[in-house]
Amino acid sequence: MDLTSPYAFGKTVAVSCAEAQLKVREALAKEGFGVLTEIDISKKFAEKLQKEFRDYIILGACNPALAYEAMQNEINLGVLLPCNVVIYTRDDGKTAVMFMDPIARFSSIGNPELEAFGIKVTEKLEHVLDAI
């Protein structure tokens, strides 16, 4: 099942959250992305709020070559990086994998070169989505 919103795209997969995370990491690496950050939201909510929450991981992914290219044109672009990938257990027990939409994120800057960058990053993330 494909999932979309004005700021993200993704799909539901019939594997566990942990397995989806492994597949996402492998597919990101094949597209030149590394994972710079990882936030386990369910663990943080338990730690900080003593609240239970579904499995929910945020991965901060970055393709250094593309980031370097884009930051040559827009030095403040770092505030919009990295590309977040969210993997969580849905209410039905399936796993959702969501990617922030680079086109939506970078089109608001008003720099045509960055709009092209957003398209390039989106294409790579769509390849990742197709691979999982």
pLDDT in tens, 82-127: 999 999 999 999 999 999 998 888 777 777 777 888 888 999 999 9
What's the domain range around 36?
Answer: 2-131
Task: Give, as one character, the DSSP assignment of residue 100.
Answer: E
CA dihedral 11, 16, 18, 20 (to 10 degrees): -30
Reported for 110-117, long-range contacts at CB under 8 A and 24+ positions apart, including other chains, are: 111/73, 111/74, 113/73, 113/74, 114/70, 114/73, 114/74, 114/77, 117/66, 117/69, 117/70, 117/73
Output the domain CATH number for residue 95.
3.30.310.70
pTM confidence score: 0.90
Query: How many domains, the chain?
Result: 1
pLDDT in tens, 42-79: 999 999 999 999 999 999 999 999 999 889 988 988 88
User: Token pair for residue 124?
Assistant: 């790579």
